[in-house]
Amino acid sequence: MRVPLERKVLNENDKIAAGLRERYKQNKVFCVNIISSPGSGKTSLLERTLEGYGASRRVAVLTGDIQTDNDARRLARFGFPVRQITTGGACHLDASMVLRNLSGWPVDELEVLFVENVGNLVCPTSYDLGEDVRAVVLSVTEGEDKPLKYPATFHHADLMVLNKIDLLPYVPFKAELALENVRRVQPTIDIVQVSCTTGQGLDEWRNWLDAQRALAQAK
């Protein structure tokens, strides 16, 4: 039966995720799970984020994709540890993939671990990766109704990053409507608006990460 099998898979995933979460907590590792549809700019956001960190920062990235290691190669040029998780067809990362790909890494010495999920607004929502926070990226080249079409993804997110705002003068995207729609799904969600091209809003994004890390460590 599909439903019992799916429940069994998710239960096993939750057990592994709980173990990851406890490991992160004990070692003060702040884990961020980033979700979006393909092309929303997750990798570009991570590039600009890593670019703003000094070499002394203890940061690492796991990046997931169905095929290719293109994203890992883009991110590795900033000098921080990066590993590609190639799912071979799966439309999401799960906790066992994260656990397996952390093997051999000095994870317990990290400050921040970014997990860039597979580009998908459906499947990743169901899989806890042991993260402290979950951020969903929506770009202005998509539709303002994405939060209404994929409510579970936005409901379970701590932050929405509205990306590519430098394109607002050139696309028929109503930013206020998008923000209204996401608030309908998740009234308490935090929102930052950024452009990875101009750098607008990136300080607000980094400040949000720092504040959330401080909150996680205080628990």
Predicted confidence (pLDDT) per residue in 34-47, tens digit: 999 999 999 999 99
State residue 1's pLDDT score. 44
Q: From CA 163, how far away is CA 175, in angstroms rounded?
A: 11
State residue 76's pLDDT score. 94
With cut-offs at 50, 70 and 90, classify the pLDDT of residue 6. Answer: low
State residue 7's pLDDT score. 67
Predicted confidence (pLDDT) per residue in 84-101, tens digit: 998 887 889 999 999 999
CA distances from 35 to 14, 63, 92, 217 (A): 18, 11, 9, 23
Token pair 């096993």: residue: 12
Output b/e per residue, 69-99; b: 16+ Cβ within 10 A. Answer: eebbebbbebebbbbbbbeeebebbbbbbbb
Domains detected in the chain: 2-218 (3.40.50.300)
- Per-residue pLDDT, averaged over 144-159, amounts to 97
Predicted confidence (pLDDT) per residue in 125-143, tens digit: 999 999 999 999 999 999 9
Tokens (6 digits) for 211: 């504040």
